[in-house]
Amino acid sequence: MNYGMQERAFLPSLVFLPQRAATALSFTGRSAAFSTPPIPAVGLICLWVYCSKCLNLQHRFKVAESLLDTKTYIVEEVNIITNKTPIVKELVNVFLESQKGFISDSTLRWYVFYLRPLVSHLGDRETKSITTSDLINLFHLIRTDDREPYTLFNFIRGWKRLFRWAVDEGYIGMNPAKKLRRPPIPQKSPAGIQRDDLSKMLEAALKTGTPERDLALVLFVADTGVRLGGVASLTVDRLDVNKRRAIVLEKGRGGQKERVVFFSSRTAIALENWLEKRGEREDQRVFLLKPNGIYQLFKRLACKSEITGKWNPHSFRHAYARKLLAEGVSIGVVSHLMGHSNVQVTIDFYGRFSHDELQEIYDKVMN
């Protein structure tokens, strides 16, 4: 393969491309194949090279030509020289940066919280020096009586995700969190908003300064089980009131995904009233509120209604799933309506019922 002078000069200086650095390149192991457009192969690589100032990692690559007719090239890692691995707090920072744009802001904050003990207690240690015993000792250090089981479970979950990513990216060779055992968590389904509390919030929505919008918004969330980001980003062109459906864009596992949601005739009427009141605007969002604005609205409605139970938008999603299952809808259909990537997620979160719930379902079918 004949390279130009600039390409030959560039080859020795190729550095490691991080996970998701570009959609054009997808690293699944030690090598990745990609097809070049009608520009020099190395020119394409130059566009996506990532230079990390804090990691001090040197990587050598060779570019081998194969399948000449289709102009497919393979970037293969030949050698990794790790004179100094990143310290833990640097690794955490790089991990968080790599996730931006691919996970929601709330998920990013989740990682910041659950990775914080690693930074506080092990932050100045080289990543390759961290052992399973170090992580176990840290877990026992932060384990206190007032921490919820879910919190302790998520600490281990977050640590496992970080070090698995570090291995995949080539920063360390062994995963110290691989053998960590997650602590047991109570086997119960997430709590959803109660039916009476929902009625109270609907009544409160009629007494605000923008009753048409607030009523339509609460009804839409209750009818669809939509995630907060999905309802906030819903635009007028993706809402079909006549067919009682909408296309929402939500951030879930694996990035942004579109899904179709459905709503009742009552909600359709409320949406028509709001759209008429809303009129034509430059802002194409249906409800004209950001995620935090919607959250604060629900909080005000719950406060006015003197609700003591769950009221946040995500509790509407839990109630939506539980209602479908209680009405006899199959778990596969519920998973699809919820927008879950895997039916196992639906089973794990919503496949458990209390004795009272099971009795109610049984009586409905048998009596």
Does residue 117 lie in a domain region? yes
Among 58, 81, 104, the domain boundary falls at 81
- DSSP track, 242-289: TTTEEEEEEEETTEEEEEEEE--HHHHHHHHHHHHHH-S-S--BSS--
More confident residue, 295 or 26: 295
34-44 pLDDT tens trace: 333 443 444 44
Give the helix/strand (H/E) hosting 131: none
Per-residue model confidence (pLDDT) at position 66: 36
For 231-245, give the secondary structure using H, E and C.
HHHCEHHHEECCCCE
Q: What is the mean pLDDT of residues 65-84?
A: 35
For residue 134, is pLDDT > 50? yes
Residue 57: give the domain boundaries.
5-81
The most distant pair of C-alpha atoms in the chain lies apart, rounded to whole Å, by: 83
More confident residue, 146 or 282: 282
Average pLDDT over the chain reads 78
Per-residue model confidence (pLDDT) at position 330: 83
Question: What's the rounded Cα separation, in Å, for the pair 292 and 81?
Answer: 46
Q: Answer yes or no: do 147 and 247 share one domain.
A: no
Among 55, 81, 107, the domain boundary falls at 81
Question: What's the rounded Cα separation, in Å, for the pair 280 and 290?
Answer: 19
The total domain count for the chain is: 3
For residue 24, is pLDDT > 70? no
Q: Answer yes or no: do 23 and 137 share one domain.
A: no
224-283 pLDDT tens trace: 999 999 999 999 999 999 999 999 998 765 567 889 999 999 999 999 999 999 999 999
pTM of the predicted structure, to 2 decimals: 0.55
Question: What's the rounded Cα separation, in Å, for the pair 75 and 177?
Answer: 29
